[in-house]
Amino acid sequence: MKDTPRVGAAKPQQPLETGTELAPPTHNATTTPDDLQTVEGGSVHATKVPKTWRFWAIIASLGVAGLASAIEGTIITSALPTITADLGGGDLYVWVPNAYLLASVAVLPLFGQASDIFGRRGLLLSAVALFTLGKSVSTGLSGGANSMRMLIAARTVQGLGGGGINLLMETVVTDIVPLRERGKYMSLVMMGSTLGASIGPFVGGAITSSTTWRWVFYINVPVGGLTFVSLWACLRVNHQREQSWKKSLARVDFAGNAIFVAAICAVLIALSWGGTLFEWSAYNIIVPLVLGFVGLILFTAFEWTPKLCREPSMPRVLVSNRTSAVALALTFIHAVVTYWAYYFFPIYLQGVKQFSPLISGVGTLPIFGGSLIFALVGGAILSKTGRYKPIHLAGFVPLTIAFGLFSLLDFKSSTAAWVCFELIWAIGSGLLVAILLPAMQAPLDESLVATATGLWSFMRYFGCIWGVTIPSAIFNNECRRLAFRVSDAAVAGKLTGGQAYQYATRAFLRGITDESVRDEVVEVFSRALRTVWLIGIAFAGLGFLLTFLEKEVSLRDKLNTDFGMETEKEQPGDAKVVPSDGEITRTGSQER
């Protein structure tokens, strides 16, 4: 068979040329002598991974790591006003959540490339250690220095670890699961991340309401420690270190990553200050935003110029074919519309229906719970059919419809209506959660798994940022435009100047003693949200249309990687024989 290399003849595949799609080799169902593959030196190629207890332990540990990281990214939001009042710090409060996000995004290309050079296990354990260390420093605030700057520094350290965790847990799944099955197991692992992101604000609010805000930082320390121990015990994956530390470090793209970090810092500074500390039209926002995007262009040019960057952390081949490029665009759009609903459906429940934060959290369960269920459904369908394009189409259709239905909601809408609309949205978002990464990787060589996952994770994070920024700007602008409808000038003034988002709460509305004025404010919130949802239709609809540009590439059902699970003890001179049905045999060694 052409696709089965002989003993000692296996060579790494070359990067694809621009515009090409990689079709995986086919395998006969019947095992013949030509179906056998012998690999020396411990590398396992074209194998099926047995689902042993160690496999499931790795999946569970990765899920817990994702849960801890995601909770940390959102738990602070509900507790932030209380923390700011206690620690002070003035305008620095905005960097308590954003320092974590900034650090998480900035390290993604670096972690992706470094994991290819130094291996997955050591870097993932280091990321968990950084995350736990940052959490421990934050916890130390309760007994030591009460400083907003120390808290921001600790959150930055946590973000470095959190970004590494999110990237490497996805990379490890791609290492131990064939491409066709990745959607199924990725959805299992990402359940932890999705659950953590969704319950974070609820948990933060509950802790702040019932006890000291310092428990927001206590809660994840034991979880981080447990994650480290479980990964240290269970995560045994292959890595062949063939160079000295000096030569390995020389391969890391430090220059490119320095440009990337500077650009991301500039963009996030603008997005953090825009509409809160400064107007969007102010030079304080425009200058860093422009510099940030120029920096991203320079980063791309640097990475794609071989004379400048010999081993890029974002090689051009990742986006040189249509399917991978479209899958990245769909990832960005999916992240945008996901966080669009995550952040603004609670505004409907609190600012229009006048629910408390606690009841609002319960009211969003159809969104989060439904997404988890349909993520599993999407992964199972991908594993069964091996086709991702129909799932992408099936996902963006209900998303587009749901945004249209959201625009019909007002104060009089029944509970049954908005719950059903949430579930329709959850079908679309959930189906896509774990299906976009396999589509992006399908045309690429397996040697690009880590860097591809790094770029994909960046697009997802970047989409999440804009998924909050864009609807926030729309909502605040609409409230400013409609503020004339409020007869009380003092109340109307609070809906201008980019402040409307923070006042869309039950507490603010209950503080308005004049019932007619309160109804006017609710009407302003409802009309502003209608515009937010209508513009959301355009984003979801764009995702649907872009899906038609994808090419359907057959998904490989065998692993071809040097980073798979360690399953056997290597003995000098042993040769591993792998038939096409995935059974592994070896002479001279015992299975571990």
Question: What pLDDT sits at residue 210?
Answer: 77
Q: Please give the single-letter amino acid code of residue 469.
A: T
Whether 391 is covered by a domain: the verdict is yes
Q: What Å distances lie between residue 191 and 3, 51, 371, 494, CA to CA?
A: 36, 19, 9, 39
Residues 6 or more apart whose CB falls under 8 angstroms from that of 384 comprise: none
- 3-class DSSP assignment, residue 559: strand
Residues 164 and 187 in one domain: yes
| HEC profile of 361-396 | HHHCHHHHHHHHHHHHHHHHHHHHHCCCHHHHHHHH
Residues 167 and 268 in one domain: no
- 3-class DSSP assignment, residue 37: strand
- 3-class DSSP assignment, residue 45: strand
Q: 210: domain CATH number?
A: 1.20.1250.20
CA distance 263 to 464: 17
Residues 371 and 393 in one domain: yes
Question: What pLDDT sits at residue 16?
Answer: 41
Question: What pLDDT sits at residue 63?
Answer: 87
Question: What pLDDT sits at residue 337?
Answer: 95
Residues 546 and 481 in one domain: yes
Q: Which of 183, 212, 238 is the last residue of a domain?
A: 238
Least Cα distance to 580 among 176, 50, 33, 178 occurs for: 33
Q: What Å distances lie between residue 220 and 158, 161, 168, CA to CA?
A: 11, 13, 19
Segment holding 337, helix H or strand E:
helix 322-347
Whether 222 is covered by a domain: the verdict is yes
CA distance 2 to 18: 24
Backbone angles phi, psi at 577, to 5 degrees: -110, 125
- 3-class DSSP assignment, residue 44: strand
**Is-contact 1 35, C-beta < 8 A?**
yes
Question: What pLDDT sits at residue 582?
Answer: 35
Residues 176 and 114 in one domain: yes
Residues 472 and 545 in one domain: yes
**pLDDT tens by residue, the chain, 592 residues:** 333 333 333 334 444 433 344 444 333 333 333 333 333 333 334 445 567 788 888 888 888 888 888 887 777 766 776 777 777 766 676 777 778 888 888 888 888 888 888 888 888 898 988 888 877 776 665 444 467 788 888 888 888 888 888 888 888 888 888 888 888 888 888 888 878 877 777 787 778 777 777 788 777 788 788 888 888 888 877 666 666 777 888 888 899 999 999 999 999 888 878 877 788 888 999 999 999 999 999 999 999 998 888 888 889 999 989 999 999 999 999 999 998 998 899 889 989 999 887 788 788 889 888 888 899 899 889 988 889 999 999 999 999 999 999 999 999 999 999 999 999 999 999 999 889 998 998 888 877 888 888 899 899 988 988 988 899 889 989 999 999 999 999 899 888 877 788 788 888 899 898 999 999 999 999 999 999 999 999 999 999 999 999 998 887 766 565 555 555 444 344 433 333 333 333 333 332 3
Q: How many domains does the chain have?
A: 4
Domain that holds residue 41: 35-48+567-586
Whether 17 is covered by a domain: the verdict is no
Least Cα distance to 68 among 141, 173, 164, 172 occurs for: 164
Enumerate the H helices of 434-488 as residue ranges: 436-441, 449-482
Query: To 10 degrees, the CA torsion angle through 370, 454, 393, 325?
Result: 160
- 3-class DSSP assignment, residue 577: strand
Residue matched to tokens 């049954």: 416
**Is-contact 242 562, C-beta < 8 A?**
no
Question: What pLDDT sits at residue 80?
Answer: 73
Q: Which of 214, 238, 262 is the last residue of a domain?
A: 238
Backbone angles phi, psi at 565, to 5 degrees: -65, 145
Residues 483 and 548 in one domain: yes
Residues 167 and 150 in one domain: yes
Q: List the structure tokens of 321.
A: 């074919």
- For residues 230-256, b (16+ Cβ closer than 10 Å) or e, as one string? bbeebbebbbeeeeeeeeeeeebbeeb
Supply the DSSP string of 475-536, one letter for each residue: HHHHHHHHGGG-S-HHHHHTTSTT-HHHH-SHHHHHT---HHHHHHHHHHHHHHHHHHHHHH
CA distance 236 to 257: 28
Least Cα distance to 357 among 74, 71, 78 occurs for: 78
Residues 281 and 233 in one domain: no
Whether 523 is covered by a domain: the verdict is yes
Residues 123 and 228 in one domain: yes
Backbone angles phi, psi at 372, to 5 degrees: -60, -45
Residues 118 and 180 in one domain: yes
**Is-contact 328 319, C-beta < 8 A?**
yes
Whether 408 is covered by a domain: the verdict is yes
Residues 6 or more apart whose CB falls under 8 angstroms from that of 503 comprise: 351, 494, 495
Enumerate the H helices of 88-181 as residue ranges: 95-106, 108-118, 120-140, 148-176
Whether 8 is covered by a domain: the verdict is no
Residues 128 and 271 in one domain: no
Whether 317 is covered by a domain: the verdict is no
**Is-contact 276 92, C-beta < 8 A?**
no
Whether 29 is covered by a domain: the verdict is no
Question: What pLDDT sits at residue 193?
Answer: 80
Least Cα distance to 147 among 201, 90, 104 occurs for: 90
